[in-house]
Every structure is written in C-alpha cells, then in structure tokens.
Chain A
Amino acid sequence: MYDLVNAYLENGLRIVLHRIPDTKTAACGLWLKQGSSYETDENNGLSHLTEHLVLNPHNKLNEKYRNIMEKITAEGVVYNAATTKEYTCYYFTGLSQNLEMCLQALGCIASENRTFDKSFFENEKKVVEQEAIGFYSAFQQIKERTSSALWGNTGTGKIIMGDITNVRNANQEQIVDILDKTYVPNNAVLVVIGNIKYTDILNKIEDIFSYWESRQLVVREQAVESVPGIYLNPAKGVSGVLSLGFRTTGYSDYTRPYNEMTLRILGQSGMHARMIDEIRIKRGLSYNLGGFGSFYSKRGTIGFMAVSEKNKLIEIAKIMSAVLDEALTNGFTETEVENEKKAMETALWLSVDNLTDHLRCIGKCAVMDKDFYIENEVRAIRDISLEAVNESMRKVFSMDNLGLACIGEVDSDSLVESVRLSN
C-alpha cells in the first residue's frame, strides 16, 4: 500500500511525506505556486530569474546558505530547480543522513535568500539569457509557442523563459516583490520522501520552517483567451517548425489518462506512433517530430510538432490533419489501447523508481492540491477503455479547439488552408 502523510504548519505550509522503507537515499523539495502563468507582460520571465537567484549558492550576501550548500554538495547531494507555468520547485536528493541539511537549505530558499550581491545579480541575469539562447532549440520553443497560440500571450500561454528584455532590465526590487508576495508558506508545499520516520521529520520541519511568515495571498493567475488562435514567426533559415495544438482539461480531470493515451498513440510511442509513421517513416519529411503534452491545474495542452525544411511544412500540415482525421473517423484499435496501457504503466513505475522523479510527481500533484497515489494512477491507466479514448479524442480534436504555431518562412495563407479536420 502506498501511504502519504499530509500535515500543515501553523503558518500554512503544507507538508507531504512518503515513506519508502529500506532505501538509503532521501529526497526533499519545496514547491511555490509561482510561475509564468501568474506573470504580466512587464515581468514575464522573472519567476525563472528568481529561481536562479534564490538557488545559486554563490551570492556573497548568503553566507549561511553558502555554507550549508558547501557541506551537502561535499556529501554528494544533487540538487536542482525548475520553473513551470504554475510553480517553481527546488529539490535535493542524497544519502538519508544528509536529509536534515537539505531541509535547512530549503529553509534558506524559502525565507532567507532575499538579498543579492549586485555583481551576482547582474551575472545571473546574463546566465539566464544564455540559458534562453542555449536551451531554446526550435523543438522546445515550439511547445511554448503552441501554448501561446492556444491560450494567448497570457496566463497559461505565457512563455516560462519569458521576455528576455525583462530579464536584461530586471532590478532587485522586482525580484524581491515576487519573493515577498509568493514565497510564503501558505503558498507552498514541502515534500519529503525516503526511509523516514514521520514524527521525527515533522519535528525537524517545524524547527526549520515555523519561522517562515505567512502573508495574505492575492489571486494572481492571469486570464486566458476564450478561443485558440495562431502564432506565426517567419524566421529566416532553411528549416522551420510547425505545430498543431489542442486544448484539453486539467490534470485532475478524469479524461487526462485518455488524452495522454491519445497523445502517445499518435505521437509519442516511438516509431510506430501514427504521426511519426506517416511523416518520417513513410515519407522522410522530418527527423525531429512528435507529440507533447502538459496538464496544469485548470487546463492542458496536447500538440504535435515537426521540424523540417520550410518548403515541406505545408505538406506536413496536410499529413497531420489527415492522421488526426483518420483517427477521428475510425478511432483507435483495441490493440493500440492495450499496448499503450502497458507502456503507460511501465513509464509510471519507472518514474517512481527514480527517487527524484518520484519526489517531483508528488510535488507536482500536491501543488495542484491533489495527492499522488501510485495505486490510483495505475488503476486509472488500467481502466482506460477504447470507447472512452475515442470519445475523448472527438471532444479534443476539433477545428474550434485547435491552435496553430509555425516558425519559418511559410505562405501563411496556404498553411491555414492546409489544416483541416472534419470535426
């Protein structure tokens, strides 16, 4: 049986604990409900910059944090952070005897890393800009641009990496504003997993985090546009990238497993995925292509993208439309569904076998006010039926639910005419 302990400190910090017997390692992480979907045009990108500034131990003004980090990294602890559309998270994984020090590091991140040395600040801005340049391959960018096409350049459609101009021009007051308003215990979840004793760990957490002051929260999530639209950028170059995206319901909705399966059958299950079969295997039109999806608290996105020579993108758009139409008309097969159920269950168990990924599953659910129970996830997969997947697909794949994103020199009039679904 998979057990979770939920607790709250007086300051509103939610704590989620999960014991894994007989493991020599432990992991802990802090999730703050602050991401790009809460940003405006003026501060888009600053949640991500904040993450960098708060995590980096080289800030001269953070001696206590620097010392803790020196000790835990000397002990082999690995750490990282991530900013998403709906949250920012910081997580540490290492041998169980280092867990308390990791929690202390998280304590500094939560409430103490609030002032930054000027040169450190300016340098980290440059680092973030370089991350944008280095990390944003056409593939990664197209997923974000698809989100923008589907939801508008607002809310869920706001790009996580943000406006680089905002990052370049950011000042410490803006970062401190984010920290003061959102890095508060009643906007956070702390997760600890490993061979832990619940009472002992709760006591340690209370010692470290009870001084973290809560604050009244203001509802900040930006509204999204009522209908999907289009993102077009005629970037010059030999190649381009195209994506068809669709709006879905959120993470907690019962249809999420059906949408995940649809995505897998069409675009994620290796060389036999239908889109890959038609575009790459049969026609050699693209090497880098596939499906992608993200599910947030209130809404989700699934999409299909392909990188190719720019003069092939319209043909690819037609093929993608044809593949989707064929799926709408004839549905998936029993064999496809049964095969994907096994693949999805395998992927789920693989994710919990890795301690850091397991921690992140729990944290992601917790920050969406949902509990992660492996049995529930497995049962949801095993309960998927062919009828349910086909029915869900018909609701998702419609022209009114489609957002189009394209980067590359393409005849946009011809492109929009090429994307057609019968639904």
Chain B
Amino acid sequence: MSSAELACIYEMNMFHEDRDLNEDILSGRAFDVLLTLMDSNQTIESISRSLNMPVFSAQMYLNRLKAAGMVKEKKNQLSDGFLEKEYSLVSEDLSIINNLSKTSSASEREKELTAHHFAVMTKQAIKCAGNHKNKPYQIGSYFMKVKVEDMEEFKKEIDALFDKFRALEDTEQTQTYSLFAVMAPYEMEVRNDG
C-alpha cells in the first residue's frame, strides 16, 4: 500500500484540498455560491436548486468557502431525523462584504463583487506567469493623463486585440492563456455615483 492510502486512514475530515485558498477561493462556481448567501442563509439544497448545480458540487464549494473562513455551517435536525446543513456568510470577516450594506444599490454590490472576482483571476494569472517563465507572457501597467477622444480610439484597438486573441483559439492545445485588460479612468478613491 502506498503512502497515499496511509495518510487517508488518519485523515478524518471529509474534505481536504491542497489548494491555496487565499489565491483562488472564488474559482469555479464558488463565487456564484457566495452570491446566493448575500441576502439570506441557505441550505445546501436551496443553493443547489438556485444554481442548477449538483448537491455534491455545491458541497465542494461550500466546504472550500468554509475552510477559507468565508461561510459558516450550522446543522439542524429535521423532524424526519435527517441533518440539514445551513450556510451563512461570516460577514464580519469579509471586508468587501462589510462595504455592502443593505442601503447600497444592487448595482454597487455587483460592481464590488465583480471587481473582487476579477482581481482574484488577475492575481492567479500573474502567479502562473511566474511558474511558466519559458512561455510567452506580458505584465504591464502605465498611468498617464490623456485626451478622452484618444482613449476612445484606443479602446477600439483593444477590442480588435481581443478579437485577434480569440481568433487564435485552438481547442486541441493543453495550455490555457488569459488576457485581461483594464483601461479606465483611474482615481485613488472611487466615487459611487453610477
């Protein structure tokens, strides 16, 4: 018997991953699962139904979010003797959620979460670049003052660049490449006016 099986004998937790949860906690559909918990506590069945996701998938993402300290689990004994698991956000530990009070608009909330998700993916891409230095990658940033009209023209070039990137797709290849672009007006503090 290999050491793999030996390790398992002593491991009583149901869920154990070697992922670095701080980096890619919101990968896959974990983000969707997190969003379902924004308004109210949910059982695993209700999450599974609302996301059209198998219960074992929902369980995986919830376990991941729980391990990262983002959700908490409560078990309720039902009248038929089964144990139902209910999940809620550990909202005080999530600074991004702290910014989203009930008085914020849904669009503001969506923007914050989308930005957070994008940041997670970008961070992952940067880390992957570090692991694949023998493959092409480019990371860069530049800040400058510029005419709005010039940026409108430049945006068309970025759109064309994305089209060109997409045209290179070859589904038979094994390596995935990512292309992110954030060309936007930049301020140190964001005004929430639209």
A residues in contact (CB < 8 Å) with B: 41, 44, 132-133, 136-138, 141, 145, 148-149, 152-154, 161, 163-165, 223-240, 399-400, 402-404, 407-409, 412-413, 416-417, 419
Q: What total count of A-B pairs have CB within 8 Å?
A: 122
Tell whether, in the assembled complex, residue A400 and residue B54 are in contact, meaning their CB atoms are under 8 Å apart. Answer: yes
Shortest beta-carbon contacts, A-B, top 7: A237-B4, A235-B4, A229-B59, A226-B82, A413-B28, A399-B54, A230-B56
Residue of A132, A153, A233, A402 with highest tally of chain B CB at under 10 A = A233
Tell whether, in the assembled complex, residue B6 and residue A412 are in contact, meaning their CB atoms are under 8 Å apart. Answer: no
CB-CB under 8 A from B56, the residues of chain A are: 149, 228-230, 402-404, 416, 419
Given contacts A223-B83, A238-B2, A413-B28, contact A233 B10 (CB under 8 A): no
CB-CB under 8 A from A234, the residues of chain B are: 16-18
| Chain B, range 10-56, C-beta contacts under 8 Å to A | 10-12, 14-18, 27-28, 44-45, 48, 54-56
B148 at the interface (CB under 8 A from A): no
| Chain B, range 34-86, C-beta contacts under 8 Å to A | 44-45, 48, 54-57, 59-60, 63, 77-78, 81-85
Given contacts A231-B14, A232-B16, contact A407 B5 (CB under 8 A): yes
Bound Cα distance from A233 to B17, whole angstroms: 6
Q: Shortest Cβ distance from B58 into chain A, in angstroms?
A: 9
Residue of A nearest to B12 (CB): A163
Tell whether, in the assembled complex, residue A223 and residue B2 are in contact, meaning their CB atoms are under 8 Å apart. Answer: no
B residues in contact (CB < 8 Å) with A: 1-12, 14-18, 27-28, 44-45, 48, 54-57, 59-60, 63, 77-78, 81-85
Q: Shortest Cβ distance from A82 into chain B, in angstroms?
A: 19
Return the contact of A138 from the options B1, B12, B27, B78 (Cβ within 8 A): B1
Tell whether, in the assembled complex, residue A138 and residue B60 are in contact, meaning their CB atoms are under 8 Å apart. Answer: no
Tell whether, in the assembled complex, residue B83 and residue A154 are in contact, meaning their CB atoms are under 8 Å apart. Answer: yes
Residue of A148, A232, A236, A407 with highest tally of chain B CB at under 10 A = A232
CB-CB under 8 A from B28, the residues of chain A are: 413
CB-CB under 8 A from A164, the residues of chain B are: 9-10
Return the contact of A141 from the options B9, B16, B63 (Cβ within 8 A): B9
CB-CB under 8 A from B10, the residues of chain A are: 164-165
